[in-house]
Amino acid sequence: MENGFNYVAQLYANMQGGDSLYNRMSANQLFRDTSTDQELEIRTKKVSEKFSECLHVVANEPSLAFFRIQEHVRKSLPQLVEQKHEIQEIQQKVQGCCFDAEYATNAVKNLQKSSVHFQNIQDLLKNAMFMKQQIDYEETKSYQGMAPSHTEVSSTTTVTSVNVSVDNE
């Protein structure tokens, strides 16, 4: 490529009224020497290190850190508040269920304590049935004594016994 470029540069230099700027540019080499490139690389490396250090300082500045914390809190706070309300609702439901369970266990314990009362009721029912049988017997006896000529009236009494049992533990 250089040979072709040099040929064109020589051709234009021989031409009448040639452009002097073009002649000067074409005579120079397109790329500089490697020694200059090393110096340029060292300078660019220093500049890039300083620039990255400045960016690091700016990115980690305390006021920026507080801004980042504020931004995080602003984004995450509504979710945390919503979760708090959900947990409070669940806590109220659980507390209500606990009260219901305690009430039910107290009712069962009181039923176990009332077995004495059920035993008294059973004894009173037995006594009442026995008294009823005695009254019926006396009525039939007095009725038969008043009307002996009549046909015998048979009175049938149905006795049902009530057994109430309560387990005592």
Task: Please state, in angstroms and rounded to a whole number, the distance separating the CA atoms of residues 113 and 166.
Answer: 10
The helix/strand/coil state of 160 is: coil
What is the arithmetic mean of pLDDT over 85-93?
Answer: 97
**Contact by Cβ (8 Å): 97, 104:** no
- The pLDDT of residue 159: 47
Chain centre to alpha carbon of residue 150: 88
Query: Tens digit of pLDDT for each residue in 26-84?
Result: 665 555 555 668 888 999 999 999 999 888 887 778 787 788 889 999 999 999 999 99
Contact 12, 23 (CB under 8 A): yes
Q: What is the pTM of this model?
A: 0.36
Q: Where are the domains of the chain?
A: 2-79
Cα–Cα distance for residue pair 128/138, rounded to 1 Å = 15
List pLDDT tens digits, range 103-160: 999 999 888 888 888 899 999 999 999 999 999 999 998 888 776 555 554 444 444 4
